[in-house]
Chains A and B, each alone.
Chain A
Amino acid sequence: MEIQGPLKRGLLSGLSITFMMVKVIVPCYIAIEIIKHFGLIDIIGRVCKPFMSVFGLPGEAALCLVAGYFINLYAAIAVLTPLGLHTKDITVVALMLGICHSLTLETPITKKTGANAWLLLLVRVALSLFSGVVLNLLWK
């Protein structure tokens, strides 16, 4: 089996893909820092607070969901841990966030593959909300 050809091709395309991803990643991280800096998460979290009972969650969990959707799972965990929720509530939040998170970074990356990133974004948000409602109803 030839070794040099595939090795060189793999190395080159790996480097070019990484370079392409970096061009997407850097602006996304800057956007995330701006969102954090201006306290946008707090504002959106406060708006969503009254709707949390649909998922059987306390109002404070809104901030956690919004942080997960816009920033990443680690930001969400940092907000979630001090709330001291029960296993059921944490699992509901975790399922919702597992399906839908880090949208500011993952949507542009999805777009890079050429797929319909907006449709996928819509599917993720809808499925996240849907699964939160369903899991809350199923888990008594």
Chain B
Amino acid sequence: MIFNALRDSLWLTMKLLMIILPLTISYEFLKERGLFSHTKPFFFMGITRAGLLPLITGIVIGLTYGAGVIIHSIKDHNIARREAFLILLFLSVCHAIFEDTLIFVIIGANGLVLVIARLVLAFVLTYCAYKAGLFKD
């Protein structure tokens, strides 16, 4: 029982290292080139240029890795708490879109319905939360 838990967490730690390290390093390089200096919302949902990296990371490879990049960006003061909430709200509903969809398509689900439904729900929810002005900084 404990052995399983340790083996599974070791495996996830390895994956985390392999994914988080390249991301945080590329993040520092992009910042060095001044790519994240715009603080104005870049996206209609209130997400800035700096927030796009954790958002896309999360959508493509998952919430765990996306959260890692968000923690990094918050520490760096490049992302406001309110924006971090919006990103996490989006990612809660819609993350790891390839992996999560494919494992269900293999056993016979309709993948197009899954992807579209999750993306639409996430966009609508995040946009509403942004417009409602929840969590002002």
Which A residues fall within an 8 A CB radius of B?
A: 1-2, 5-7, 9-11, 13-15, 17-18, 20-22, 25-26, 28-30, 32-34, 37, 73-74, 77, 80-81, 85-87, 90-91, 93-95, 97-99, 101, 105-106, 109-110, 112-116, 120, 123-124, 127, 131, 135
The answer for the CA separation of A98 and B109 in the assembled complex, in Å, is: 12
Taking the complex as formed, is B39 at the interface, i.e. its CB lies under 8 A from any CB of chain A? Answer: no
Contact A22 B107 (CB under 8 A): no
Q: Within 8 Å CB of A114, what residues of B?
A: 74, 81, 84
Distance of B53 from chain A, by nearest CB (Å): 12
Q: Is the CB of A18 within 8 A of B20?
A: yes
The tally of residues in B whose CB lies under 8 Å from a CB in A reads: 54
Q: A106-B63, A112-B67, A115-B84 are in contact. Are A90 and B108 (CB under 8 A)?
A: yes
B117 near A135 with CB under 8 A, answer yes
Q: What residues of A have a CB within 8 angstroms of the CB of B12 in the complex? A: 25, 29
Which of A6, A34, A106, A123 has the most chain B CB within a 10 Å cutoff? Answer: A6
A93 to B117, CA, bound (A): 13
B109 near A87 with CB under 8 A, answer yes
B27 at the A interface (CB under 8 A): yes
Residues on A with C-beta less than 8 A from B85 are: 115-116
Q: Give the distance in Å from the alpha carbon of A112 to the alpha carbon of B27 in the complex.
A: 20
List A contacts of B100 (CB < 8 A): 73, 98, 101
Tell me if B21 and A15 are in contact (CB < 8 A): yes
Shortest distance between the CB of B82 and any CB in chain A (Å):
10
The yes or no answer to B37 lying at the interface (CB within 8 A) is no
Please provide the 10 A-B residue pairs with the shortest distance between their CB atoms, ordered closest to farther.
A10-B25, A94-B104, A6-B28, A14-B24, A10-B28, A29-B5, A14-B21, A94-B109, A10-B24, A90-B109
Task: Note all chain A residues with C-beta closer than 8 A to B72.
Answer: 13-14, 17
Given A14-B24, A73-B103, A124-B93, CB of A113 within 8 Å of CB of B70: yes
A95 with B114: in contact, given A17-B24, A77-B103 (CB under 8 Å)?
yes
Q: Which one, B2, B118, B125, contacts A95 given CB within 8 A?
A: B118
List 6 extra interface pairs beyond A18-B21, A94-B109, CB under 8 A: A80-B107, A91-B110, A106-B63, A113-B70, A123-B89, A124-B93
Query: Considering the chains assembled together, what is the distance between the CA atoms of A10 and B115 in angstroms?
Result: 32
Chain A positions within 8 Å of B28 at CB level = 5-7, 9-10, 13
* Chain B residue nearest to A98 in the complex (CB): B100
Answer whether residue B121 sits at the interface, using C-beta atoms and an 8 A cutoff.
yes
B78 to chain A, nearest CB (A): 12
Please measure, in the bound complex, the distance between the C-alpha atom of A29 and the C-alpha atom of B3, giving whole angstroms.
Answer: 10
